[in-house]
Structure 1
Amino acid sequence: MTVLIDPPNWPGPRGLMWSHLVSDTSLEELHTFAGRLGVPVRAFDRDHYDVPETVHAQAVSLGAEAVSSRELLRRLTEGGLRRRKRSS
């Protein structure tokens, strides 16, 4: 099981900084982990969950590997789970 989380570097709602939570193995693994973390399904976007800075430490304590945003994207892509936005 490899769930990854990047630093909360992305500005978002409620004046919080946000992280991306991904799996480099399977979306099923990601959804299971997000459920354990208490992240709502509505936070899922194509291949990741957007999670607020307030849950970063808890995600790591539950077993998520803290990595840089660049490393997260590399491993998501290499795992074949990257889903880009479709062009209009």
Structure 2
Amino acid sequence: MHTDLSAHLHSEGCNELIRMLNQCHQENPLLRFFGKCNSEDHQMVKCLKEERLLRRKQNYQKSLETKEKLQRLFREQKQKDASL
């Protein structure tokens, strides 16, 4: 089972691989069950994995930035409370 293969969710490279796989499935409605489209599927899965890992890395960096911002705000608030 794949993730959502909607075009707006993926890069142009992965979208091309998705189109190739769909075309292979349409051209080989029976042979696809016997591995005719496996190479296209493997390429697409590899591309989707690379995208997922990139998003994961970007989300992690964003979480670190948010965490630092919150810690800074808490420190500033603590200093204000201490000066009162």
TM over 0.5: no
TM-score by length of structure 1 reads 0.27
Greater Rg, structure 1 or structure 2? 2
TM-score by length of structure 2 reads 0.27
Q: Which has the higher helix share?
A: 2
Which structure exhibits the higher relative contact order, with contacts defined as CA atoms closer than 8 Å and separated by 6 or more residues? 1
Q: Which has the higher strand share?
A: 1
